[in-house]
Structure 1
Amino acid sequence: MRLHLSDSHDSADAHEPLGPDDPLAPLPFNPYKGNRGITRAWHALKNSLNGFRVAIREESAFRQELTLTAILVPCGMFVPVDAVSHVLLLGSVLLVLIVELLNSSVEAAIDRISLERHELSKRAKDLGSAAVMVALFVCVMTWVLIVGPLVVRWTGHWIGR
């Protein structure tokens, strides 16, 4: 026996009413989501650059990691390794910046909600900090595994002369 739409409840009746807590309720109008195409890309670029400015001005950890990036990226480009190793070296450094930006955004959102001490706020901030630590570990491990053997070889040749 096939069930036709007309045999069941009217489609509007199947899921009424749509309250504010209903996951199928339409989202409220967002004036910031109306851009399309090049206009959207332009606004996204402006917002991204503004995010970098805020991170540089307000986040000391981001400034420290940006300094590390300014040192490691040129070094990583000139290390005599294959293309995949270059991508791993540079990608591991950029990963640290990405995770730091996400951590800073979590901290800002938590602080926006409330500056009072709360266990869940502490947990969110600690988890973000742990994510940065993991990204830093990945960066160090990548550089040690790829550049470490080259450094050992170079110093062996230099000392052996």
Structure 2
Amino acid sequence: MKREALLDAAECVLFEHGTQALTLAAVAERAGVSKGGLLYHFPTKEALIKAMVTRVIEEFDDLVARYDDGSPGSYTRAYVEATFEVMAGQEATRTRRRWSAITAAAADPELIAPLREAMARWHRIDPGREPDPVASAVIRLAAEGLWEVISHAPDAFGAGQLAALKRRLLEMVSP
């Protein structure tokens, strides 16, 4: 079985049943493999969680890179575009499932370390690329806050509201 399918199975267990239910046996059963097959790829539960967190970070980084054209303010625009794609795009349900890995990692400083590093990187201000670094920081922080709300209350905003919020955040980024 492929590593990605095992991560998908782990995310499903987390999303559907919570962190208490995340055991190697439950993941192996969900994936339809032996526990030994799972252990071949992930020797510990911690390794499994860390791999899920890493995948979330890499996917977000890839989205930001896809939208970032290098022009002034483009990083913040890319961050907003990527955030809304993750939250409200076609893959929003899968994304919410994937973010359950963050919940599983949150209690362990070692497991959440990659996310802390990514957050510091995502929110580092590069004055050469951002016409108004403070406004760019506020916009990215607003996107983070919205992401947090949607993570806990997926129906808090309708599609029209999300579209209006996205438009407004993008308008706030100076070209």
| TM superposition score normalised by structure 2 | 0.25
User: Which structure is higher in RCO with an 8 Å CA cutoff and minimum separation 6?
Assistant: 2
Using structure 1 for the length normalisation, give the TM-score. 0.27
Structure with greater Cα Rg = 1
